[in-house]
Structure 1
Amino acid sequence: MQERTVDVAIIGSGSAGLNALSQTRKAGKSFVLINGGEPGTTCARVGCMPSKAMIQIAEDYHRRTHLGKFGVDGHQAMTLDVGEALEHVQDLRDTFVDRVLSTSTDELPEEQFIQDFARLVEPTLVEAGGQRIRAGAVVIATGSRPVVPSAWRPFGERILTTDELFELEDLPASMAVIGLGTIGLELGQSLCRLGVDVTGFDQQRQIAGISDPEVNQAAIELIGKEMPLHLGAAAEIHEDGDRLRVSAGGHSVLVDRVLCSIGRTPNIDGLGLEVLSDALGVPLDARGLPPFDRHSMQVGDLPVFIAGDVNGERQILHEAGDEGKIAGWNAARGERRRFRRKTPLFINFCDPNICAVGQRFDEIDPQTAAVGQIRFAPVGRALIMGKNRGVLRVYADRASGRLLGAEMIGPKGENLAHLLCWCIEQGLSVGELLRMPFYHPVIEEALQAALYDLYGKLEAKNAGLTELWPLQDTDD
């Protein structure tokens, strides 16, 4: 078998792999990019982008139900062609995928891009496309795929994941969504708003990964008004004629299809990670992965790096991109540099948005941290928008006043979450935030109110007036 040598071999051409490739190119090193399965990133093909296209259609269509209070007969003014809506989602999806491919793998010659599944023969010897590649370093960025329990697979096409959902030409009349994390909640609500009779199930009592009990309760109440939610018991599926019966905790529903969104598993089948285990002298973990450093992405002391969704660390696009950059930097330069990771930021694009920033409620110390909150019901801008629902909770260190984190469900949460994330990243205190300008009327006034509530519970206070910077002695 032909064998050749490169500086860096990158396995996987998703977000992490492409960012690793960018770093390799910047370092002027030779490389090969290997990709098995569908080209294009998970985000563009079956994740962030097609789901947001569906969410947008669903929100726009759902808005008609609120127009009556403004004197608009929305039901008469708007109808929905489901087939055309799904075609629009697919067209946008294809556009996003084409953009990714046209600026990445489409431009690579055959010797630099191999469309085939890879196998590690040794830690830095890769077999793919009928050849062996000896690399100075290897980046593993093979991504992940939806989990479907083996007991459910015999139900065939009646069990959907995001891999199949965006291929549908029509929607079923009824559907159960099992797993109410980000994917299940976003798509479940959207499908409900597009006319599908949706029932949600989750064996956890929290939805969207929320840890703050106040935010979780508000989320359950708000989402539960649109579709039934059955929490705290594992779901079981049984065939009932040509339909499926989903049962959990004494609740049962008969549906046409099931959307399975209970998690994702790393794409490592046939990759041969056992050679890494043998080289390190340590076993692979329960998921079949070797130990790695989340700040350098290095696997043990080997010139091997693992980045993106495959490691299950933070399965979010910008995090996968960062991990790819870290892995690519180290692989291309022969370094083992450790990098500081960014403040955690999680956004669920359901309506209202559910967001978490920085430390979660279950991560703060109740002895040293304080909590401030505001409910959106009286917030002027939210009231005008007809979206005054939800609650915002912010956390800070009681002694220093430094902002630690937040969880929320509320309108324009995606924007509030970014503001909070940037503030935490900069190490700002609550008092410093309250000195920032807040326009009126804007949704950010909800954040201002939550910060005032939090400020009153802190030991750290600003000198002088809270909301103003004292003028220094100058010639001015």
Structure 2
Amino acid sequence: MKQLQADVVVIGGGTAGMGAFRNARFHTDNVYLIEGHAFGTTCARVGCMPSKLLIAAAEARHHALHTDPFGIHLDKNSITVNGAEVMNRVKSERDRFVGFVVSDVEEWPADKRIMGNARFIDEHTVQIDDHTQIKADRIVIATGSRPVIQPQWEALGDKLIINDDVFSWDTLPESVAVFGPGVIGLELGQALHRLGVKTEIFGVGGSLGGITDPVVLAEAKAIFSEELPLHLDVDPEKTEVKLNQEGKVEVHWVCGGERGVYTADYLLAAIGRRPNVDKIGLENLNIELDERGVPKAHPLTMQTSIPHIFIAGDASNQLPLLHEASDQGKIAGDNAGLYPNIANGLRRSPLGVVFTNPQIAIVGLRYARVFERYKNPECVAIGEVSFRNQGRSRVMLVNKGHMRVYAEQGTGLFIGAEIVGPAAEHLAHLLAWAHQQKMTVPKMLDMPFYHPVIEEGLRTALRDVNSKLKLGEVHTECAECPGA
């Protein structure tokens, strides 16, 4: 077995791992990058980029089918979907994006890139399959995550798919049952439906798209349920999934007082992702783990309870988003390279977008976190706007949705927002920049707003919350609030 000595070893060649490797090399050349499958990123291969290509195709058909309200009448019978052509574009463009990532990797020294599955032997030693063992002064765990699969679904065989499989299709199926109404399930479910694939979405607990604000959630449920069947609160004990005699997936569901059967070509598992830390030999380390078996880490340094071991990206059980993984990888790589001289890295304001139509976005503190942090509701002011009558939204016939913004009483500090509505990705960026700059609502209202634009809806929500603020006043019972 080959024996190597390293200053830094990075386990995982995705977004976080590549960032960690790149930044560790600023401080030492003796860095190794280990990857068990293929160098590249989940985003480029099976995540954000191919999903947006599928969504773009879905939007093209949807717009063509809904031109009548503008006085533009098309022959609806002539609007057809060529599934093979759709998937060919998705895969060819996906491969182009992956190619850019791989070309970056190939510029790194070949002898520092090792293929194989790594496991910890002890706190300073990792073994890659049965061919290489590396002793390292510092180690970064960046092993990513994988979809959660319910054990009872395994009996479905190749009728059980994950998002990776969708982007390997040569054409589109006739029907899909989507389990999981989160980001992945909702994006892919709506896109497939708009491409003419019969689709129904199933969930537990009534959640949708990660929304926690009850007003925004109610609006989102109303909007999306108008378009495709949603079963968001099925009873997992009474809901059965099995193959029928024709080899189709049968979902026998129970939701509230209703029950039914849905038959589909595939079950798409999208109920969440699990950090890939269960097969890397953590049992050989005296490392502090959370309730899911994931190493705990300081959010600003990525340092675990073993000082020379760092963790980043989806494996860290923090936000599974590309920009988060990139930031965490950079921080972990820098600190592994500089260890024992470590420093806090830049953590940006939380920002998440679901690329449905209408889009969903969350900025800063989401509603649920607001009232975990501010125990007394009197410490928070909430402003809102409906997009149903917002000027530019009505002009474009995208007037669906609702936005709520949250601000701190006394200071007027903007602390968060949840949105379902048109152009939410752009509104969310404006809000995230304001949040990171720690702007108050009055200062945000001093910013320019053009007319007519959808951003005027944001101004309406800010004016609403501003009217409810008691600036300079702090309730006695809010003395423990963060801004008091």
Same fold (TM over 0.5): yes
Equivalent residue, structure 1, for 2:477: none
Give the root-mean-square deviation of aligned CA atoms.
1.5
- Separation (CA, whole Å) in 1 of partners of 2:142 and 2:213: 33
1:122-141 aligned within 5 A: 122-128=122-128, 130-141=131-142
Task: Kindly provide the CA deviation profile for residues 130-167 of structure 1, in whole angstroms up to 9, marking residues without a partner as x.
Answer: 12111110001010111111211121111110121110
Shifted more, 68-77 versus 385-394: the winner is: 68-77
Task: Kindly provide the CA deviation profile for residues 372-415 of structure 1, in whole angstroms up to 9, marking residues without a partner as x.
Answer: 00101111111111101100110001211110100010000000
Letter matched to residue 403 of structure 1: F
Structure 1: runs of 5+ lacking an equivalent: 462-476
1:118-157 aligned within 5 A: 118-128=118-128, 130-157=131-158
User: Does residue 437 of the first structure (1) align with residue 448 of the second (2)?
Assistant: yes
Query: Percent identity over the alignment?
Result: 41
Equivalent residue, structure 2, for 1:471: none
Letter matched to residue 45 of structure 2: R
* Contact 1:230–1:251, Cα closer than 8 Å, also in 2: no
User: How many Å apart are 1:237 and its aligned residue?
Assistant: 0.8
1:312-327 aligned within 5 A: 312-327=317-332
SS at match of 1:373: strand
Letter matched to residue 84 of structure 1: E
1:215-226 aligned within 5 A: 215-226=216-227
1:341-420 aligned within 5 A: 341-364=347-370, 365=374, 366-420=377-431
User: Does residue 240 of the first structure (1) align with residue 244 of the second (2)?
Assistant: yes
Letter matched to residue 239 of structure 1: L
SS at match of 2:227: coil
**How many residues were matched structurally?**
456
TM-score, normalised relative to structure 1: 0.93
- Separation (CA, whole Å) in 2 of partners of 1:333 and 1:29: 12
Equivalent residue, structure 2, for 1:84: 85
Letter matched to residue 421 of structure 2: G
Letter matched to residue 334 of structure 2: W
Equivalent residue, structure 2, for 1:332: 337
User: Does residue 95 of the first structure (1) align with residue 101 of the second (2)?
Assistant: no
User: How many Å apart are 1:70 and its aligned residue?
Assistant: 1.9
1:6-405 aligned within 5 A: 6-74=6-74, 75=76, 78-104=79-105, 106-128=106-128, 130-233=131-234, 234=236, 235-241=239-245, 242-246=247-251, 247-249=253-255, 250-277=259-286, 280=287, 282=288, 284-334=289-339, 335-364=341-370, 365=374, 366-405=377-416
Letter matched to residue 91 of structure 2: Q
Letter matched to residue 457 of structure 1: K
SS at match of 2:431: helix
- Separation (CA, whole Å) in 2 of partners of 1:381 and 1:30: 56
Letter matched to residue 148 of structure 2: V
Shifted more, 73-82 versus 38-47: the winner is: 73-82
Structure 2: runs of 5+ lacking an equivalent: 473-484
Letter matched to residue 93 of structure 1: R
Task: Kindly provide the CA deviation profile for residues 208-259 of structure 1, in whole angstroms up to 9, marking residues without a partner as x.
Answer: 1111011101111111111111122235312222212112322331222111
- Separation (CA, whole Å) in 1 of partners of 2:180 and 2:133: 41
SS at match of 1:422: helix
Letter matched to residue 302 of structure 1: P
* Contact 2:390–2:454, Cα closer than 8 Å, also in 1: yes
Letter matched to residue 252 of structure 1: V
Deviation >6 Å, runs of 4+: none
SS at match of 2:66: helix
Equivalent residue, structure 2, for 1:469: none
* Contact 2:7–2:28, Cα closer than 8 Å, also in 1: no
- Separation (CA, whole Å) in 2 of partners of 1:414 and 1:295: 26
- Separation (CA, whole Å) in 2 of partners of 1:330 and 1:39: 23
Residues 85/438 of structure 1: CA separation in 2 closer, same or farther (3 Å cut): same
* Contact 1:355–1:407, Cα closer than 8 Å, also in 2: yes
- Separation (CA, whole Å) in 1 of partners of 2:405 and 2:209: 18
